[in-house]
């Protein structure tokens, strides 16, 4: 009787044997993998959150932000009310591309056949040096574009209006002279692209726009 008790005590004190040992190993491994999976999932969620909040531009807005009757939008050439040549052309092109991609509507260049018309004017274009290189040349700029924006349907109902829209962003000067204007300014194409992204996001979100 005492020998039997000793055997039972030994089996309780140590790890299980044979089939029991196999089951014990599988359970332990499963628990370990589960803990690792939970930690990995938490890390991925944290990474996604930080990435989303760190982006300068967020892909917000959708076609649902516009009235369902608006299927075609005319983007008319922007007016230039600032002493910067070609900037209004680049802005018009960038806004047209961004609107077609983001709002999922047909974009045309004339009023005829349009459900809504987007008009605008570039009223200001400012460049402020932020830092300089070893030669004393500015290598980092803050560029600001001011504009008047209006989107109205074919009956004249205003869908979006920002008489004092303001876009501001900081840029590094490229090392290639061909990519910036007058060897000083960041390429208009880059600035116009970022301006258009911010503007279309504001329109689709129904914001008043700008900073």
pLDDT in tens, 107-143: 999 999 999 999 999 999 998 888 888 888 878 889 9
Going by the DSSP 8-state scheme, the letter that residue 193 receives in this structure is H
Assigned CATH class of 63-205: alpha beta
Backbone angles phi, psi at 209, to 5 degrees: 90, 150
For β-strands 116-132 and 72-75, DSSP reports them as parallel
Residue 53: the pLDDT is 31
The whole-model pTM stands at 0.64
133-to-5, 59, 68, 140 alpha-carbon distances in Å: 85, 34, 51, 9
Residue 85: the pLDDT is 83
> Domain ranges in the chain?
2-54, 63-205
- The pair of structure tokens assigned to 211 is 């900073």
152 and 162 in contact (C-beta within 8 Å)? no
3-state secondary structure 157-184: CEEEEEEEEEEEEEEECCCCHHHEECCC
Residue 46 in this model has a pLDDT that exceeds 90: no
pLDDT in tens, 138-189: 788 899 999 999 999 999 999 999 999 999 999 887 654 544 444 444 578 8
């Amino acid at each position: 009787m005492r020998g039997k008790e000793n055997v039972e005590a030994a089996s309780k004190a140590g790890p299980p044997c044979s089939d029991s040992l196999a089951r014990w190993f599988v359970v332990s491994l499963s628990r370990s993998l589960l803990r690792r999976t939970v930690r990995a999932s938490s890390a991925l969620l944290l990474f996604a959150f930080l990435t989303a909040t760190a982006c300068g531009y967020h892909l917000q807005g959708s076609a649902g932000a516009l009235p369902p009757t608006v299927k075609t939008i005319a983007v008319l050439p922007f007016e230039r009310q600032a002493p910067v040549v070609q900037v209004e052309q680049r802005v018009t092109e960038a806004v047209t591309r961004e609107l077609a991609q983001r709002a999922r509507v047909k974009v045309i260049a004339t009023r005829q056949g349009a459900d809504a018309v987007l008009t605008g004017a570039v009223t200001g274009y400012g460049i402020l040096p932020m830092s300089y290189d070893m030669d004393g040349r500015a290598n980092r700029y803050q560029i600001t574009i001011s504009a008047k924006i209006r989107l109205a349907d074919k009956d004249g109902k205003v869908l979006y209006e920002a008489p004092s829209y303001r876009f501001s962003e900081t840029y590094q000067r490229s090392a290639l002279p061909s990519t910036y204007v007058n060897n000083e300014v960041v390429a208009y194409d880059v600035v116009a692209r970022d301006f258009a992204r911010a503007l279309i996001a504001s329109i689709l979100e129904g914001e008043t726009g700008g900073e």
